Chains A and B, each alone.
Chain A
Amino acid sequence: MNKKILIVEDEAPILKLMQEVLEKEGFNIITANNGERGFELAMSEKPQLIILDLMLPKLSGREVLNKLRKTEEHKDTRIFILTNISGVENIESFVDSDKTSYFLKTDIKMKKLVKNIKEFFEDI
């Protein structure tokens, strides 16, 4: 089973680090450095998990999320919001479901993140 993960992140070092670590874990990683590209890849590559930053060029993470949820392909896809924005207004409205999780980059350790991803794929 091909474990395909899409990472949408504009901060190059972080993107690079995450890609390295996760590929080492055996995941198939595709990356996008802006929201628009992220949405396109999500539609064409159909990843099982999407790691999405909120503050993104071209299309914000929130807009990408809203757009994805409206599509047949991704209305139920698991999405990890991984961002440095905290306490966003009605953040619960899109993280409360078990389809969407929210992590603050500064507070989560890489190990923990990897652990969460692994758990997700074990559950499928």
Chain B
Amino acid sequence: MKDIDKKNNKKTLRVFLFGTIEKKLFFFFLGAIFLPLIIAGLINLKNASDILLELSLDRMLHDSDFRAREIAFNLENFKKEVIFLANNNIILNLVTNDDISVESNTETSVVKLADVFKKVISVNEGEIYQIRFLNEKGKEVVKVVSKNGEIQQISEENLQIKSNRDYFQEVKKLKQGEFYVSNLNLNKEDIPPKIEIPYTAIIKYASPVYDRNGVFKGAVILNLFSHAILKSFSSTTTKEHYDLGVQYNLIKEFLIDKDGFYMLHPERQKMWGGVENLNTGINIKSDFSEETVQEIFSKKFGTIYLKDQEFVLAYHTIVLNPQFPETFWVSLKGIPESVVLSKGVQLKKTFIFFIFLAIIFAGFLIYFLSRIIARPIKKLREGVMLIEQGDFSHKVGTDKEDEIGILSRAFDRVTAKLLALRSEKLELLEKSKIELEKKVTEKTISLREAQDAVLDVLVDVKKSKSKIEEEKAKSEAIFSSIGEGLVVLDEKGIVNVVNQKALVLLDFRRSSPLGKSWENVLVVQEKEKIFEKDKKTLSFDKIFVEVPENKILHLFRTDKTSFPALISASPIILNNKHVGAVIAFRDVTREMEVDKAKSEFVSLASHQLRTPLSSINWFSEMLMDKEIGELNEKQNSYLMEIDKSSHRMTELVGALLNVSRIELGTLVINPTPTDIRKVMKDVLDELKLAINQKKIKVKIDFQKNLSILNVDDKIIRVAFQNLVSNAVKYTQEGGQIKIEIKEKNKDIIISVADNGLGIPKKFHERIFSKLYRADNVRNTDTAGTGLGLYITKSIIEQSGGKIWFESPTTEIKNKDGEMIAGGTTFYCTIPKTGMKSKKGSRELS
């Protein structure tokens, strides 16, 4: 909604600004005229600023040159002065005397020379500080000083020897007529050195004195107040205006010596090294960067634009004496950038003002022009609007002969025709309009329905997508956290996926099994032998078809050690095609250890329990054999009891061992194809003696063509033994036992029925419990172990079968008045699929 509002606002604005031809024309002209004008103006303005800057830089360079020349000129005057002083007749007379110590002559010459010195100082009043004449040994001979406006000669006793001074050393090297200019000198005297007059540095001029024979006789030294040279500077301060309109006082002037110390600086306290020390005091480096300073000293003249300081600098080097090029000064002139550009700013203001003025004038002009052009069009438009509102009688035609006139008349003709058509079509229009509305409504409804349907589908898709993702995350989590090693192969037997556990078990730490053939990853052998590559128990086909279940195989790690493993493999079948296989395996080392411990216990127990029994059995057998002597009747009957008990004990030990094997899970099941009818017959044969003793009738009903079952015959035998011997045991003499073996659906059902004591109802629930015997049988027979049914039930259930019994609840009393039931029938089933093989460590005894 907001966007639409914005759009509308924009549109209204556009219509307002350019809505009519008149306005369009106005803006078009305005743009056409002013855009180039402004661009050209701006370019010119930029050029003007550049030129202005260049101009003022040139001007400043010129100025600094001028200043340099001015200084050079001033220096020249004093140079002439000192050369003159060193070569005038008076001094020549003084030095040419063969014996300078001739008193009369010398004295007058000295006085005369002093007079000359005084005259020179007075002529250049305030400029020369002192003039001296030093003899060839550097001793002051004449010294005239200007002090506090007074010119005086220093008395002889105050004259000093200056032979060690620079200027004297330098002047000694010069020829007649040459001169020396000192560097800046703070005129330090006394010890400790003291600056004689602050801010009044001294420049020393010196020229050698030779006698008429050309022998060096000393030098004239002229000490100059530095301001003598700078006098022209002071005369042109403030008020004057630069010809570019820049105030002069904004221009900064500097004069530096070769070491960069200021001889002139706008800030007085910076002059002469800050009047402290010309070695460490303030110099040009404190104001300008190292680069700038270097440029100034390496070039003779030039300008520098210091962008960071917004400052423009012009400089010129002044060589004081071509003989001593190392002694020079530099005249510097600087000006803030803004000052230079201020003229440009002025220019810009003027430019903008004129542009503004031009826009107003031209605006008026264009406005009227566009009105004139647009007026007929406007009129035409107004006419059309009237027609639009329904006034077809309105005529917009004008009698003008221009294009607009023609157009307006053509328009009138169209209007007339339109008027005729209108009444005709109006009716038709109304009709179709109603129909259209109806259709639109219908379409809108069906469209909305379709939209809703699509939305529903989208929601569904989204839902199922998130569900799939959830499922995926779940199975990934399961896959990685599962305790068994998992390896997934593709249809070529290449390892596709491996879980973390598999990597750990197979010791894949350095390399990845992914992409390798399964044979290189899962090296399987039946025995824990030395690693032999070509002996493989599993073949790739077998993986897709079958893998021995419950068989402990050995899997080899990458380091060729092995561990016992239970492996199961199943093919992945998609559209009836093998597309891969999943192999799961588990390290059973621990289980095997436990199994071993358990079986060791059982075998030890069976040995220990049976050994004394076998002794008893055999010795009682020997006694009963009578080979070692006849026993009397009583002895014989006692011996029989011993033998009977010993055999019961043997039986009990056997049963107990079976129970412990079942309970410890060490029972081995080793199925082979077996005819269980034969097993049952064998059992009956074994019990034949007991059956005959009790005169029991045995009826058997075995189905013909019974399936051969894959079961462990030894185990089945134990189960059958228990069932049949129970039936024999608990059936009275002359009783009857009926045994049936039949197929029923997927099972084989075995039933053993007797017509014996039966099982009272209250014991039904506990009859399969260990060491439990029903009261009624306990009373009649004490020989039972109480383990038989428990073992039988365990065997049948481990075979995947079921066991139950029926014992009629009607109580029947025998002739002695004891309660008996009507016999018992035990049923058990064994699935036709047979028993599952189980690797353990013990078979049943």
Interface residues of A (CB under 8 A from B): 11, 13-14, 17, 21, 55, 83-89, 91, 104-107, 109-111
Contact = CB atoms under 8 A, between A and B. Distances in A.
A87 B843 contact: yes
B622 A84 contact: no
A110 B619 CA distance: 9
Contacts of A87: 606, 657, 661, 668, 842-845
B611 interface: yes
Given A86-B843, A86-B845, A106-B650, 13 more contacts: A13-B619, A17-B619, A17-B622, A21-B622, A84-B606, A85-B607, A87-B843, A89-B599, A105-B617, A106-B610, A106-B613, A111-B621, A111-B625
Given A17-B618, A17-B622, A88 B611 contact: no
B618 A91 contact: no
Nearest to A24: B627
B622 to A, nearest CB: 7
20 contacts: A13-B615, A13-B619, A14-B611, A14-B615, A14-B618, A84-B606, A84-B607, A84-B611, A85-B607, A86-B657, A87-B661, A87-B842, A87-B843, A87-B844, A88-B843, A91-B843, A104-B845, A105-B610, A110-B618, A110-B622
Contact of A11 (B615, B621, B622, B625): B615
Contacts of A110: 618, 621-622
B238 interface: no
B614 interface: yes
Contacts of A105: 610-611, 614, 617-618
A87 B666 CA distance: 11
Contact of B653 (A13, A55, A89, A106): A106
Interface in B590-614: 599, 603-604, 606-607, 609-611, 613-614
B657 A84 contact: no
Interface in B607-644: 607, 609-611, 613-615, 617-619, 621-622, 625
A57 to B, nearest CB: 13
Interface residues of B, number: 29
Contacts of B841: 89
B654 interface: yes
Contacts of B614: 14, 84, 105-106
Interface string B830-845: 0000000000111111
A89 B845 CA distance: 12
A89 to B, nearest CB: 4
Given A106-B610, A106-B613, A107-B650, A89 B842 contact: yes
Contacts of B625: 111
Interface of B: 599, 603-604, 606-607, 609-611, 613-615, 617-619, 621-622, 625, 650, 653-654, 657, 661, 668, 840-845
B648 to A, nearest CB: 12
Contacts of B609: 84
Shortest beta-carbon contacts, A-B, top 6: A84-B610, A105-B614, A87-B843, A86-B845, A87-B842, A89-B841
Contact of B603 (A13, A88, A107): A88
A106 B842 contact: no
Listed residue (A11, A87, A109, A111) with the most chain B CB atoms within 10 angstroms of its CB:
A87
Contacts of B606: 84-87
B840 to A, nearest CB: 8
A51 to B, nearest CB: 13
Contacts of B611: 11, 14, 84, 105
Nearest to A89: B841
A88 B615 CA distance: 21
Contacts of B618: 14, 17, 105, 109-110
A89 B668 contact: yes
A109 B599 CA distance: 27
Nearest to B650: A106
A109 B623 CA distance: 13
Listed residue (A11, A89, A111) with the most chain B CB atoms within 10 angstroms of its CB:
A89
A85 B617 contact: no
A55 B845 contact: no
A102 B615 CA distance: 18
Contacts of A84: 606-607, 609-611, 614
Contacts of A89: 599, 668, 840-842
A107 to B, nearest CB: 7
Nearest to A105: B614
A94 to B, nearest CB: 14
Contacts of A17: 615, 618-619, 622
A88 B621 contact: no
A106 B621 CA distance: 12
A87 B843 CA distance: 4
Contacts of A14: 611, 614-615, 618
A11 B844 CA distance: 25
Given A87-B657, A106-B653, A55 B607 contact: yes
A55 B605 CA distance: 12
Nearest to B627: A24
A56 to B, nearest CB: 11
Contacts of A86: 606, 654, 657, 843, 845
Contacts of B622: 17, 21, 110
A13 B612 CA distance: 10
A91 B654 CA distance: 17
Nearest to A21: B622
B843 to A, nearest CB: 4
B597 to A, nearest CB: 13
A109 B653 CA distance: 17
Contacts of B603: 55, 85, 88
A66 to B, nearest CB: 15
A113 B68 CA distance: 146
Contacts of A55: 603-604, 607
B586 to A, nearest CB: 21
A109 B610 contact: no
